[in-house]
């Protein structure tokens, strides 16, 4: 018995030591984002209210746990076997049974009311397309196909900007996702935003969020979607508004260069300025040397930028 206690003590000491080492490592600046034993940072507008609900439920269930197991242990000790003790037969206690039915019911109603406002914040008021960044999210086995409208502001047109596994959004601005899976159900999950939403084949699910801290985040697929599920990983970069605009402009320029290659006569160029600029590009390309390629690309960029601003 004494040995058992001593052994248990040793185990506890070891456990404490390893926990304290973990905590000590935790405080260093270079830790990986998920190297915490508790929740990751809360970095979206809904993350705070969701965490508040989480903690409310956690404390209620902790209290219930302590009461129930405290009573259980107390009764085990109090009513343990004794030589001269006889069992007592009872039909139950109506007042007690009503109480332990009504009190949990009231707690559940209370939690439902509390959850409702958070739920409507997350799910009811979609931001307008004019005040938000709209992104088409089309996951498939095993990657995230991501699309932005491009220079014309419309989807399903040749100048759409598409990326794979790389989502870019501005900080403090609503982002509206139109999600459709291309094959099986996937689920878009960003732990720091406390957001998780299924994407289903054959239907468009609208989902939105506002990031509150710049940085790099990971997108995980939270739906077991096949053998490659484990590597279905994307990256979400939250930029400052200026950085995001710069990224978007650069992507639009890249796209324009693809759509109007230097050699082509640029039949889609809508304005005179663009046409002139495109003419320059052709000249640059005609000048021949391999090094001229990048210069030509830059000129095309200029052409499209002018075209975009003149519209
Ligand atoms: Cu998936």
CATH number of the structural domain spanning residue 168: 2.60.40.420
Asked whether residue 128 is domain-assigned, the answer is no
Asked whether residue 57 is domain-assigned, the answer is no
Asked whether residue 295 is domain-assigned, the answer is yes
Asked whether residue 224 is domain-assigned, the answer is yes
The pLDDT assigned to 151 comes to 81
Residue 175 confidence (pLDDT) above 90: yes
169, 193 contact by CB (below 8 A): no
**How many angstroms does the Cα of residue 269 sit away from the middle of ligand 1?**
40
**How many angstroms does the Cα of residue 165 sit away from the middle of ligand 1?**
12
The pLDDT assigned to 65 comes to 96
**How many angstroms does the Cα of residue 233 sit away from the middle of ligand 1?**
9
**How many angstroms does the Cα of residue 185 sit away from the middle of ligand 1?**
7
**How many angstroms does the Cα of residue 217 sit away from the middle of ligand 1?**
17
Residue 149 confidence (pLDDT) above 50: yes
Residue 16 confidence (pLDDT) above 70: no
179 and 214, same domain (yes or no): yes
150 and 207, same domain (yes or no): yes
What's the domain count of the chain?
2
**How many angstroms does the Cα of residue 189 sit away from the middle of ligand 1?**
10
Asked whether residue 103 is domain-assigned, the answer is no
146 and 244, same domain (yes or no): yes
Which of 258, 239, 218, 234 lies closest to 171, judged by CA?
Answer: 239
294 and 239, same domain (yes or no): no
279 and 242, same domain (yes or no): no
**How many angstroms does the Cα of residue 254 sit away from the middle of ligand 1?**
29
The pLDDT assigned to 33 comes to 58
**How many angstroms does the Cα of residue 248 sit away from the middle of ligand 1?**
27
211 and 172, same domain (yes or no): yes
**How many angstroms does the Cα of residue 255 sit away from the middle of ligand 1?**
28
235 and 266, same domain (yes or no): no
Asked whether residue 209 is domain-assigned, the answer is yes
244 and 137, same domain (yes or no): yes
Residues 212 and 210: their CA atoms lie apart, in Å, by 6
Q: Tens digits of per-residue pLDDT, 219-270?
A: 999 999 999 999 999 999 999 999 999 999 999 888 888 888 766 555 554 5
Q: pLDDT band at residue 129, thresholds of 50, 70 and 90? A: confident
Residues shown for the chain: 311
Asked whether residue 145 is domain-assigned, the answer is yes
Q: What does the mean pLDDT of the chain come to?
A: 79
The pLDDT assigned to 34 comes to 59
213 and 306, same domain (yes or no): no
Q: Tens digits of per-residue pLDDT, 193-205?
A: 998 999 999 999 9
**How many angstroms does the Cα of residue 155 sit away from the middle of ligand 1?**
24
The pLDDT assigned to 4 comes to 58
156 and 241, same domain (yes or no): yes
Q: Tens digits of per-residue pLDDT, 82-121?
A: 898 888 888 889 999 999 999 999 999 999 999 998 888 7
State which of 195, 215, 248 marks the end of a domain.
248
193 and 277, same domain (yes or no): no
The pLDDT assigned to 285 comes to 42
Q: pLDDT band at residue 138, thresholds of 50, 70 and 90? A: very high
State which of 203, 218, 248 marks the end of a domain.
248
Instruction: State the residue range of the domain holding 272.
Output: 260-310
Q: What is the mean pLDDT of residues 27-48?
A: 71
Asked whether residue 37 is domain-assigned, the answer is no
The pLDDT assigned to 29 comes to 40
**How many angstroms does the Cα of residue 144 sit away from the middle of ligand 1?**
8
**How many angstroms does the Cα of residue 231 sit away from the middle of ligand 1?**
9
Neighbours of ion ligand 1 (CB under 5 A): 186, 221, 225, 232
The pLDDT assigned to 6 comes to 62
**How many angstroms does the Cα of residue 66 sit away from the middle of ligand 1?**
39
State which of 220, 248, 276 marks the end of a domain.
248
Highest mean pLDDT of the ranges 94-98, 129-133, 278-282: 94-98
**How many angstroms does the Cα of residue 70 sit away from the middle of ligand 1?**
43
**How many angstroms does the Cα of residue 229 sit away from the middle of ligand 1?**
5
Residues 306 and 311: their CA atoms lie apart, in Å, by 9
The pLDDT assigned to 25 comes to 45
How far is C-alpha 64 from the chain's CA centre?
A: 32
Beta pairing partners, 133: 175
Which of 151, 130, 150, 148 lies closest to 271, judged by CA?
Answer: 151
Residue 41 confidence (pLDDT) above 60: yes
The pLDDT assigned to 37 comes to 80
**How many angstroms does the Cα of residue 183 sit away from the middle of ligand 1?**
9
279 and 193, same domain (yes or no): no
């Amino acid at each position: 018995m004494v040995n058992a206690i001593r052994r248990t003590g040793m185990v506890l000491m070891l456990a404490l030591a390893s926990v304290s080492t973990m905590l000590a490592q935790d405080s260093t600046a270079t830790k990986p984002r998920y190297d915490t034993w508790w929740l990751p940072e809360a970095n979206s507008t809904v993350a705070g209210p969701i965490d508040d609900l989480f903690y409310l439920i956690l404390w209620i269930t902790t209290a219930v746990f302590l009461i129930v197991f405290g009573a259980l242990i107390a009764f085990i000790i109090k009513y343990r076997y004794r030589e001269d003790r006889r069992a007592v037969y009872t039909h139950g206690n109506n007042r007690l049974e009503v109480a332990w039915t009504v009190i949990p019911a009231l707690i559940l109603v209370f939690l439902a009311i509390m959850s409702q406002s958070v739920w409507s914040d997350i799910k009811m008021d979609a931001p307008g397309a004019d005040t938000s960044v709209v992104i088409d999210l089309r996951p498939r086995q095993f990657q995230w196909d991501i699309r932005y409208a491009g220079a014309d502001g419309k989807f399903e047109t040749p100048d759409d900007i598409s990326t794979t596994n790389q989502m870019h959004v501005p900080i403090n601005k609503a982002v509206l996702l139109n999600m459709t899976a291309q094959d099986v159900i996937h689920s878009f999950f960003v732990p720091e935003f406390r957001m998780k939403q299924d994407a289903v084949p054959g239907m468009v699910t609208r989902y939105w969020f506002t990031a509150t801290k710049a940085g790099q985040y990971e997108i995980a697929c939270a739906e077991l979607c096949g053998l490659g599920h484990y590597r279905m990983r994307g990256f979400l970069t939250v930029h400052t508004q200026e950085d995001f605009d710069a990224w978007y402009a650069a992507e639009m320029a890249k796209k324009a260069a693809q759509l109007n290659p230097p050699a082509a006569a640029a039949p889609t160029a809508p304005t005179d300025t663009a046409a002139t600029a495109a003419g320059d590009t052709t000249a640059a390309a005609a000048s021949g040397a391999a090094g001229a390629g990048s210069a030509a690309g830059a000129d095309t960029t200029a052409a499209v930028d002018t075209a975009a601003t003149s519209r």
